[in-house]
Amino acid sequence: AGGGPLLPDSVLYEIFLYLDHVDVLSVGLVCQQWHAVARDEFLWKELFYRYYRVSREVPRHPAAVSWYDEFQRLYDTIPCVEVQALKEHNDQVLHLSFSHSGCLFASCSKDCTVKIWSNELDISLQHSSNMRPYNWSYTQFSQFNSDDSLLLVSGVFVGPHNSSSGEIAVISMENFTLLSRVRNKPYDVFGCWLNETNLISGNLHRIGRITSCSVLWLNNAFQGIESENVNVVKRLFKIQNLNASTIRTVMVADCSRYDSPDLLLDYEEQLAASSTSTCPVFDLGSDSEEEEAKPKQTPEPAVQELPDEGGVTAEDGLQQFFDDIMEGRVRPAMTETELETKVAELFVRSRTKPPELNLLSTDSNSKTKYLIFTTGCLTYSPHQIGIKRILPHQMTTAGPVLGEERRSDEFFDSLDHVIDIHGHIIGMGLSPDHRYLYVNSRAWPRDCVISDPMQPPPIAEEIDLHVFDLKTMKEVKRALRAHRAYTPNEECFFIFLDVSRDFVASGAEDRHGYIWDRHYNICLAKLQHDNVVNSVAFSPVEQELLLTASDDTTIKVWRSPRAVRIQQARKPRPRKLLFSWLMNQKS
């Protein structure tokens, strides 16, 4: 604290007014002699809880060494200062993604281009690829592979009678050439990398009016390989969809990183980790307070399975159901939709491979990964998160094109875990350590009943940001709120979020981006645009840099107050005034 003030006196004046026992006169005195105040840990703790309105039972951030440092962190390191606006797109900007090195980022837009930017002090456009020659309508998503040598770009494909189809393109970062294209249906599967050279896409096969089958494919990025001995594609999973639902928004989580998280969100787990640690570990807690109000938790999700019906086999049950229909024993009369769903449920019982066992006891040294996606069981609106384990032998296109050998009664794959959100899911993002899954959703009315899968319940304008621990499959913390959305169910679109070590950010339809602190569960900043904010992205190597993309066709660059000061200090000072002064002195 003796090195000089980092917080301006005006800010200190404002925050001291939150203390009941400090009057204006003493505030002025403190602002003039604040070096002594900065050493008062109790005073800064009081300031922190009152200014940020945090429950007093929430412990200090585990990496903080003092309450003053913590107040300084939340005031000075939030990327809330606009430093640049990029206007090279001429239509809505839908998505942003950084390379793992942080040197590049990509943007997708309704103008049907994917642009690649150089992330320097002043960001500049490096390359732009127009996808219209490939019959695309627009680009919607991008992702760099783990070594930043390839870029996956997902878009909406305009084809005959395939309005819901998409396509994935792979672009080389060495010379920006298009290496391959893969069909992707429905388009909002988006696609993702499984490893350096293999990506996941989707396909959809209709079985009935509201029943379908989603197939997830593993594709080699280098589709030009032509050999009868080398596969470039292999089927990963085949999953039945009921009640007009489909698999969308796939992403991959690396299970091997769960035991060394960047930040533990459960306060009791922070305490346990700190008490057993023999040396200081970044972001592991040391405070003994317990949370005042336990975070609202959803019931532990269970593996999705149909109930046992007294030892009757699925095939016998299906035959019995048909016999009951023919003989008029099914009462009350079922609608066509209910009949299709019932038959599909009975059929899938006898044609589904059992789920993987011990999903929660994954070896931390294993190469196992989770495939995470949105799905549903009641309506077409995505309201569940499905999780499927990908085993090491499944991570290559080698072997049979249709995957490993199956028994004749294993036509479909089951989900290993299902998390029910009870609302329309409009965004998902993983923490950098892949331990936590953040989910944007718009809630359904409490106790609502869905009688028609084509008529989902109305959705709230408030967006809930849920947090799930993928190691325990439970919800942690209370849902974050501040951002809003207004479009109805049938027009609802994806709003991308991003997570850094300490912060989580999201777009919204209220013309703002939002930033929250992951530890304290508080909203720290609103970032203004002139239209809907579709996507946000933290630099993976510098969380004090954030990008936001909007329907107003701009990409805004935001840096923290500290980063702005450092950047301004590095700029050379103007010499014209000094030169003029010297000339005047000589004359």
Segment 73-100 mean pLDDT: 96
Residue at a domain's end among 46, 75, 104: 75
561-574 CB burial, b ≥16 within 10 A, e <16: bbbbeeeeeeeeee
Measured from the Cβ of residue 135, the count of other Cβ atoms closer than 10 Å reads 11
Q: Is residue 192 part of a domain?
A: yes
Q: Please give the C-alpha separations between residue 155 and each of 94, 98, 481, in angstroms, as whole numbers.
A: 11, 18, 30
Measured from the Cβ of residue 472, the count of other Cβ atoms closer than 10 Å reads 15
What does the mean pLDDT of the chain come to? 81
Which pLDDT belongs to residue 326? 55
Q: Are residues 525 and 554 in the same domain?
A: yes
Q: Is residue 421 part of a domain?
A: yes
Which pLDDT belongs to residue 226? 54
Encode pLDDT of 308-355 as tens digits: 444 445 555 555 655 665 556 655 566 767 666 766 666 666 677 777
Encode pLDDT of 492-513 as tens digits: 788 999 999 999 999 999 999 9
Which one-letter amino acid corresponds to residue 300? E
Segment 61-82 mean pLDDT: 91
Q: Are residues 184 and 122 in the same domain?
A: yes
Which pLDDT belongs to residue 119? 95
Structural domain harbouring 172: 79-259+365-568
Q: Are residues 58 and 84 in the same domain?
A: no
Which one-letter amino acid corresponds to residue 560? S
Encode pLDDT of 202-214 as tens digits: 999 998 888 999 9
Res. 262 pLDDT band, cuts 50 70 90: confident
Q: Are residues 376 and 431 in the same domain?
A: yes
Cβ(519)–Cβ(61) below 8 Å: yes
Strand partners, 538: 546
Q: Is residue 268 part of a domain?
A: no
Is 90 exceeded by the pLDDT of residue 192?
A: yes
Segment 163-191 mean pLDDT: 93
Q: Are residues 144 and 90 in the same domain?
A: yes
Which pLDDT belongs to residue 220? 94
Which pLDDT belongs to residue 554? 98
Which pLDDT belongs to residue 227? 53
Q: Is residue 578 part of a domain?
A: no
Which pLDDT belongs to residue 296? 39
Which one-letter amino acid corresponds to residue 566? I
Q: Are residues 70 and 194 in the same domain?
A: no
Residue at a domain's end among 32, 51, 75: 75
Task: Report the distance separating Cα 107 and Cα 105, nearest Å.
Answer: 7
Q: Please give the C-alpha separations between residue 108 and each of 57, 174, 277, 356, 580, in angstroms, as whole numbers.
A: 43, 19, 44, 37, 49
Residues 76/80/85/89 CA torsion (nearest 10 deg):
130
Res. 257 pLDDT band, cuts 50 70 90: confident
Q: Are residues 30 and 135 in the same domain?
A: no
The three-point CA angle 460-464-466 to 5° equals 145
Q: How do beta strands 417-420 and 512-517 pair?
A: unpaired
Segment 55-81 mean pLDDT: 90
Q: Are residues 41 and 93 in the same domain?
A: no
- CATH number reported for the structural domain that contains residue 26 in this entry: 1.20.1280.50
- The tokens for 73 are 């962190």
Q: Which helix (H) or strand (E) segment is 140 a member of?
A: strand 136-144
The three-point CA angle 318-324-325 to 5° equals 95
The answer to whether the Cα torsion of 286, 291, 295, 297 is positive or negative is positive
Q: Please give the C-alpha separations between residue 115 and each of 52, 171, 413, 558, in angstroms, as whole numbers.
A: 38, 11, 38, 19
Q: Are residues 440 and 554 in the same domain?
A: yes
Cβ(450)–Cβ(376) below 8 Å: no
Res. 5 pLDDT band, cuts 50 70 90: very low
Residue written as token pair 């989900």: 415
Q: Are residues 146 and 66 in the same domain?
A: no
Q: Are residues 370 and 397 in the same domain?
A: yes
Is 70 exceeded by the pLDDT of residue 489?
A: yes
Segment 397-401 mean pLDDT: 77
Which pLDDT belongs to residue 308? 42
Rounded to 5 degrees, φ, ψ at 509 are -85, 0
Task: Report the distance separating Cα 512 and Cα 92, nearest Å.
Answer: 15
Segment 277-289 mean pLDDT: 30
The answer to which of 320-324, 379-383, 394-398, 435-439 has the lowest mean pLDDT is 320-324
Q: Please give the C-alpha separations between residue 386 and each of 10, 75, 379, 533, in angstroms, as whole numbers.
A: 50, 38, 15, 27
Measured from the Cβ of residue 587, the count of other Cβ atoms closer than 10 Å reads 5
Q: Is residue 328 part of a domain?
A: no
SS3 letters across 368-399: CEEEEEEECCCCCCCCEEEEEEECHHHCCCCC
Which pLDDT belongs to residue 330? 58
Which pLDDT belongs to residue 256? 80
Residues 432/436/437/440 CA torsion (nearest 10 deg):
-90
Q: Tell whether pTM > 0.85.
A: no
CA end-to-end distance (rounded Å), the chain: 46
Is 80 exceeded by the pLDDT of residue 163?
A: no
Domain count, the chain: 2
Segment 554-563 mean pLDDT: 96
Cβ(424)–Cβ(309) below 8 Å: no
Task: Report the distance separating Cα 358 and Cα 337, nearest Å.
Answer: 35
Segment 508-535 mean pLDDT: 95
Rounded to 5 degrees, φ, ψ at 329 are -90, -5
Res. 582 pLDDT band, cuts 50 70 90: low
Is 50 exceeded by the pLDDT of residue 201?
A: yes
Cα 369 from chain centre: 17
Which one-letter amino acid corresponds to residue 200? I
Task: Report the distance separating Cα 554 and Cα 90, nearest Å.
Answer: 8
Exposed, middle or buried: residue 137 (CB in 10 Å: 0-12, 13-18, 19+)? middle
Is 60 exceeded by the pLDDT of residue 455?
A: yes
Q: Is residue 277 part of a domain?
A: no
Segment 539-560 mean pLDDT: 97
Cβ(168)–Cβ(182) below 8 Å: yes
Segment 360-377 mean pLDDT: 76
481 vs 510, higher pLDDT: 510
Which pLDDT belongs to residue 204? 94
Res. 357 pLDDT band, cuts 50 70 90: low
Residues 223/227/233/234 CA torsion (nearest 10 deg):
-170
Q: Are residues 61 and 194 in the same domain?
A: no
Task: Report the distance separating Cα 455 and Cα 210, nearest Å.
Answer: 12
The answer to whether the Cα torsion of 556, 561, 564, 566 is positive or negative is negative
Most confident of the ranges 42-56, 334-348, 447-461 = 447-461
Which pLDDT belongs to residue 280? 29
Task: Report the distance separating Cα 41 and Cα 62, nearest Å.
Answer: 16
- The tokens for 152 are 């996956």
Q: Is residue 317 part of a domain?
A: no
Which pLDDT belongs to residue 290? 34
- CATH number reported for the structural domain that contains residue 496 in this entry: 2.130.10.10
Residue at a domain's end among 56, 75, 94: 75
Q: Is residue 289 part of a domain?
A: no
Q: Which helix (H) or strand (E) segment is 111 a member of?
A: none
The answer to which of 136-140, 179-183, 305-309 has the lowest mean pLDDT is 305-309
